[in-house]
A and B are shown apart, each in its own frame.
Chain A
Amino acid sequence: MKYYEGDCVIELDVNNEIRKATVRPSDVLLDVLREQFGLTGAKPGCKNGDCGTCTILMDGLPAKACLVLAVEAVGHKILTVEGLGGHTPIQEAFVQYNAFQCGYCTSGFLMVCHALAERKPNADEYEMEKWLQSNICRCTSYQEIREAVKSVLKHI
């Protein structure tokens, strides 16, 4: 049985690198990624699971890092926008289609879109919309984001 109390040292697999952090069990993953690992790509937005700016991938599935305890992430593979490396098809597509304005939501959108393209490359419009609805763009770049995602999916 895993048991964590008080300050404890955990190891997390983030972007294919094992990293140690000292956390409280009540620390959320978002804060640990940003404050201990300096991975500031996941952005604090609503911190309530609504906006999606803090989206990371956990074992390949999108998760809002504000709603994951850091201790829960032990033993799972975490991927942040830094781990995408800058030249994935979806990142190239976002540049090509100008799929951002202020950019604050971009890393969260990239993670959702990357996961969609990896897991469901044949996704249809309905599926795409369902995944994208998890994230909010306050600048309303939705049309450009949609075009960028479409360009990396196979059958739309």
Chain B
Amino acid sequence: MIANDFVYCKPGNRREAVKAYRALSKEDKKVFYYNGGSEIITMARAGSNAPDAVIDLKGIKECNKLELEEDYLVIGGAVSLNTIEESGLFPLLGTTGSRIADHTNQCRITLGGNISGTIIYKETVLPLLLTDAKIILYGPRGFRRLQFKNAFDQRIKLRDGEFIYQVKIKKEMLSLPFTHVKKTAIEKIDYPLVTVCSISYGNYLRFAFSGLCSFPFRSVEIEKILNDSQLSAEERLEKTHGLLPEPPVTDYQGTGEYRLFVFDNIIKAILERRNNEVL
């Protein structure tokens, strides 16, 4: 049971959503945009972050879009992870989403919710960072169309009243060879110790990581080192450690040292496989 009361509204289009946000957020009310709801309900039940109002975005047609257009795949913010996976349109994102929570929850968790939630892992961000995705945000000042990498720095940079409307990925990026590895401490379904996504783009490996630090990231500097064939795998890994954006996370699932050990093993396996393919 959720102890506190809140207002629930479900607008039928984007303008109604913003109008509702403006009206409901007066008097310092805490208003959350709502997609699948799993994180908001969990936090509200625990009393840790209860809203005064929620605005359900699932009624906005464009936020439910999952469609190949001329040059892009368009994914609405309210599309569920399960829908993305079953569509088979973006295998890396489908695979990544299919390892977030469990299958039943994947039928509810949405792309927009995963990107903008407060849980630190946000693994759906990784494929978007790797494939030069674009993001379309909508808010009181209308649309903002941004490169995903510019909109996401440790967390999604939303302005007051903005929500994730759609994400667009170039068609040519959808079917690149990829690797997705998620390592958990014990259970298969759990938060990651480390998740690594990698794609091969023009014979160059791109990498993005979750779980290692307190936010998901892609690092061009790390990619340069990991693609440097003049260095041994061990040398690359050692140099990589110094380029992490912050020290690895230590928590109940694993120490930072252990996370780094897991990270090294995943990367080694990816590099070895690549070497074998090249040879």
Chain A residues proximal to chain B, CB less than 8 Å: 1-6, 24-28, 31, 47-49, 52, 55, 61-64, 66-69, 71-72, 112, 130-131, 133-135
- Say which residue of B37, B59, B82, B98 sits within 8 Å of A2 (CB atoms): B59
Please, how many angstroms separate the alpha-carbon atoms of A2 and B103 in the complex? 29
Q: Is the CB of A67 within 8 A of B44?
A: no
- Say which residue of B2, B4, B56 sits within 8 Å of A72 (CB atoms): B56
8 Å CB contacts to A: which residues of B3-48?
4-12, 16, 20, 37-38, 41-42, 44-45
Given A2-B59, A69-B41, A24 and B5 contact (CB-CB distance below 8 Å)? yes
**Chain A to chain B contacts (Cβ below 8 Å), 20 pairs:** A3-B10, A24-B5, A25-B7, A26-B5, A26-B6, A27-B1, A31-B1, A48-B45, A49-B38, A52-B102, A61-B82, A62-B103, A67-B37, A67-B38, A67-B108, A69-B37, A72-B37, A72-B56, A133-B103, A134-B103
- Say which residue of A1, A31, A61 sits within 8 Å of B107 (CB atoms): A61
- Say which residue of A1, A47, A67, A130 sits within 8 Å of B103 (CB atoms): A130
Residue of B nearest to A108 (CB): B104
Given A3-B7, A4-B9, A25-B8, A48 and B104 contact (CB-CB distance below 8 Å)? no
Chain B 172-195 near chain A by CB (<8 Å), digits 1 or 0: 000000000000000011000000
Chain B 53-67 near chain A by CB (<8 Å), digits 1 or 0: 010101100000000
Q: Report A-chain residues with C-beta under 8 Å of the C-beta of B42.
A: 48-49, 67
Question: Closest Cβ of chain A: how far from B253's Cβ, in Å?
Answer: 15
Residue of B nearest to A25 (CB): B8
- Say which residue of A47, A67, A69 sits within 8 Å of B8 (CB atoms): A69
Please, how many angstroms separate the alpha-carbon atoms of A152 and B2 in the complex? 38
Q: Is B105 an interface residue (CB 8 A)?
A: yes
Please, how many angstroms separate the alpha-carbon atoms of A113 and B37 in the complex? 24
Given A1-B20, A27-B2, A68 and B37 contact (CB-CB distance below 8 Å)? yes
Using C-beta atoms within 8 Å of the partner chain, give the interface range for chain B: 20 to 34
Q: Is the CB of A1 within 8 A of B10?
A: yes
**Majority DSSP secondary structure for residues of B touching A:** mixed
Question: Closest Cβ of chain B: how far from A129's Cβ, in Å?
Answer: 9
Q: Report A-chain residues with C-beta under 8 Å of the C-beta of B104.
A: 52, 55, 62-64, 112, 131, 134-135
Q: Is the CB of A133 within 8 A of B108?
A: no
Q: Is the CB of B188 within 8 A of A25?
A: no
Given A1-B20, A67-B105, A28 and B41 contact (CB-CB distance below 8 Å)? yes
Q: Is the CB of A28 within 8 A of B2?
A: yes
The 10 closest A-B pairs by CB, nearest first: A25-B8, A134-B104, A134-B102, A2-B10, A26-B2, A62-B104, A3-B9, A61-B107, A4-B8, A5-B7
Q: Is the CB of B8 within 8 A of A130?
A: no
Please, how many angstroms separate the alpha-carbon atoms of A52 and B58 in the complex? 23
Please, how many angstroms separate the alpha-carbon atoms of A72 and B35 in the complex? 10
Question: Closest Cβ of chain A: how far from B104's Cβ, in Å?
Answer: 4
Question: Closest Cβ of chain A: how far from B14's Cβ, in Å?
Answer: 12
Question: Closest Cβ of chain B: how far from A124's Cβ, in Å?
Answer: 14
Please, how many angstroms separate the alpha-carbon atoms of A24 and B5 in the complex? 7
Q: Report A-chain residues with C-beta under 8 Å of the C-beta of B189.
A: 133
Question: Closest Cβ of chain A: how far from B50's Cβ, in Å?
Answer: 8
Please, how many angstroms separate the alpha-carbon atoms of A64 and B103 in the complex? 11
Q: Is the CB of A1 within 8 A of B16?
A: yes
Residue of A nearest to B189 (CB): A133
Chain B 84-118 near chain A by CB (<8 Å), digits 1 or 0: 00000000000000100111110110000000000
Please, how many angstroms separate the alpha-carbon atoms of A26 and B52 in the complex? 10
Q: Is the CB of A25 within 8 A of B5?
A: yes
Q: Is the CB of A130 within 8 A of B107?
A: no
Given A1-B16, A62-B107, A69-B41, A6 and B5 contact (CB-CB distance below 8 Å)? yes
Question: Closest Cβ of chain B: how far from A58's Cβ, in Å?
Answer: 8
Please, how many angstroms separate the alpha-carbon atoms of A25 and B20 in the complex? 16
* Contacts beyond the supplied A1-B11, A72-B58, A134-B103: 11 A-B pairs with Cβ under 8 Å: A1-B20, A25-B6, A47-B45, A64-B105, A68-B41, A69-B37, A69-B41, A72-B37, A72-B56, A133-B189, A135-B104
